[in-house]
Amino acid sequence: MLGGLIVAGLAIWVVILSPSPPIPRPGDTAAKGASRPGGGAPASAGTPALPADHPEVMEIPAEAKAFITELEAKAKERPEDAEAWRRLALVTARAAQIDPAYQDRALAAFAHALEIAPKDPDVLRGAANLRYDRNEHREAIGLFERYLALRPDDAGARTDLGTMYFHAGDPDRAIAVYREVLAKDPSFLQAHYNLAITYHRKGDEKAALASLETARGLAKEDTVRAQIDQAIASVKGGTGAPAGQPAPPPAASTAETPFQRQVEDAFRGHPIMGPKIVRFEWTSPAAGRVMLQNFPMAAMPPEVREKFTTRLAETLRNAAAANGVSGPAHVELADASSGTVMATVTR
């Protein structure tokens, strides 16, 4: 019952905020290439369709919250019970996909579970996924490496490891990991796409386009092919959009400082907002605007909106602290079509 409630709740928000299945991209946790033991269901064509009369907004039901609380109580009564802590960690991680307030509880459960069973692959993968979701790249790298030592043939996890290297500022190592994945599985679409993104960020447009073309040839769904076409158009500078669809503005970056680049990487890596980003416009070293396409900010309930902007504010604070930025810092979230500012995030 809990699994059904959690998956249904996550699927609702995926459907609301991502009407088309997103294509894989570095940092896009909703588009990882394989099922995620202990993580949320991928936001892809595999997400079950919701009935037409299904409510548009659903929070974790009270029964599910009570069930999680009961799991926590039972686990604390049995501190050496590896299975009880494993179950608690994986369930709270799923809950955190809907309500970020559960993230700290999930992290604590994973930490304890790994003390008891440091080589449990599902716990390692779940903990890595959660760190990935929180943009905690270094922590995620260590966990993915430990997991892959046990399950070296997991192409999705290895691709996610490459993505963490990308966001940690080591694109060359990310490229090496993506190539390693493709050497074993040349048909793994996500690795081709992430490789293209990494080449694009390094300024190698020819290699980026070649990887995108390969990814497009592997895509089996029209919606995924259409989105890859948009990425190709973006790399080419807005040409070559799919027939009947306007070419999106290039996802260009004006970032010039480490702070700006870290903020961009974190925002682009957001599982909900990332696929909606059109471009960034930096107006000062610590202030800018992110242009979003078809992002339904107004559809968020007030408490969800507050959690969403609070997490983004944490991203600004972390980036400022990591890069020696003092004083105010803010980023406006604006609609790409109308230019309307939907929210302002401050550190």
Taking only the tens of pLDDT, the chain with its 347 residues reads 455 545 444 443 332 233 223 333 443 433 343 333 233 333 332 333 333 343 333 477 888 889 999 999 999 999 999 999 999 999 999 888 888 889 899 999 999 999 999 999 999 999 999 998 888 889 999 999 999 999 999 999 999 999 999 888 889 999 999 999 999 999 999 899 999 989 988 889 999 999 999 999 998 888 778 878 888 887 887 433 333 333 333 344 566 788 888 888 888 877 678 878 888 888 888 889 998 887 878 777 787 788 888 888 988 888 888 888 888 899 999 888 778 899 999 98
- Establish how many alpha carbons lie within 13 A of residue 113's alpha carbon, considering only the half-sphere containing its beta carbon: 29
Number of H helices, E strands in the chain: 13, 4
What per-residue string of b and e applies to 203-233 under the rule 16 or more CB within 10 Å gives b? eeeebbbebbebbbebbeeeebbbbbbbbbb
State the pLDDT at residue 203. 86
State the pLDDT at residue 154. 93
Contacts of 60 (CB under 8 A, 6+ apart): 5, 6, 9, 95, 98, 99
Nearest one of 24, 22, 21, 35 to 212, comparing CA atoms: 24
State the pLDDT at residue 226. 82
Residue type present at position 10 = L
What is the C-alpha to C-alpha distance for residues 235 and 203, in angstroms, rounded to an integer?
A: 10
Q: Token digits for 142? A: 């260590």
State the pLDDT at residue 179. 96
